[in-house]
């Protein structure tokens, strides 16, 4: 199972940094239109090899729709940018896993998106001991390369993480 926090305001721009559509994983982008009028939605997927146009649709007033990202891209690395016109929307990303040879999903997780990119992010949760893996997923919705410098705060102090460059729209 999974759950996500809500948001206090809809927005015309949403960024969802995480997603994967390979290896038994499926990713969904969930869009809610809380408005009393219809809105147009434009979804773009950002992968390690560049941008892929996603659905462009009109959502009815007071409605929601789930979009299966797997129908548009086949990759371990996909981020999503959602833009709405004629009204603000709310976006969330849900990911599910079905192991090879199984027919039912065994796990899932989700998260709301963010409404604007930033050059600084703070992530307070993470574990790498006891069989846990922690992943930090970075989306670059910009038309230019960006440099990242990750630092991890641990019980023993700060540890230098990856320093990397991320291509545009990936």
pLDDT value at position 127?
Answer: 83
pLDDT value at position 1?
Answer: 61
pLDDT value at position 123?
Answer: 83
CA distance 94 to 26: 8
CA distance 166 to 139: 8
What DSSP state is assigned to residue 62?
T
Backbone angles phi, psi at 55, to 5 degrees: -65, 145
- Within 13 A of 29's CA, how many CA atoms are on the CB side? 32
pLDDT value at position 2?
Answer: 64
pTM of the complete model: 0.86
Pair 51, 117: CB distance under 8 Å? no
Consecutive sets of 10 residues in the chain, 170 residues long: mean pLDDT of each?
78 94 93 97 94 97 96 95 97 90 84 88 84 86 94 89 93
Three-state SS at 169: coil
């Amino acid at each position: 199972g999974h759950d996500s926090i809500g948001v206090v305001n809809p927005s015309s721009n949403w960024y969802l940094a995480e997603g994967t559509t390979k290896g038994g994983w499926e990713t969904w982008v969930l869009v809610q239109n809380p408005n009393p009028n219809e809105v147009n939605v434009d979804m773009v997927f950002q992968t390690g090899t560049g941008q892929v146009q996603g659905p462009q649709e009109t959502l009815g007033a007071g409605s929601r729709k789930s979009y299966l990202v797997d129908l548009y891209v086949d990759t371990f690395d996909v981020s999503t940018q959602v833009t709405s016109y004629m009204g603000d929307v709310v976006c969330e990303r849900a990911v599910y896993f079905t192991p090879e040879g199984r027919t039912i999903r065994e796990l899932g997780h989700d998260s709301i998106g963010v409404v604007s990119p930033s050059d600084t992010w703070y992530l307070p949760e993470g574990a790498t001991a006891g069989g846990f893996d922690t992943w930090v997923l970075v989306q670059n919705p910009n038309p230019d390369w960006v440099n990242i410098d990750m630092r991890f705060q641990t019980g023993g102090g700060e540890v230098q993480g990856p320093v990397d460059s991320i291509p545009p729209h990936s």
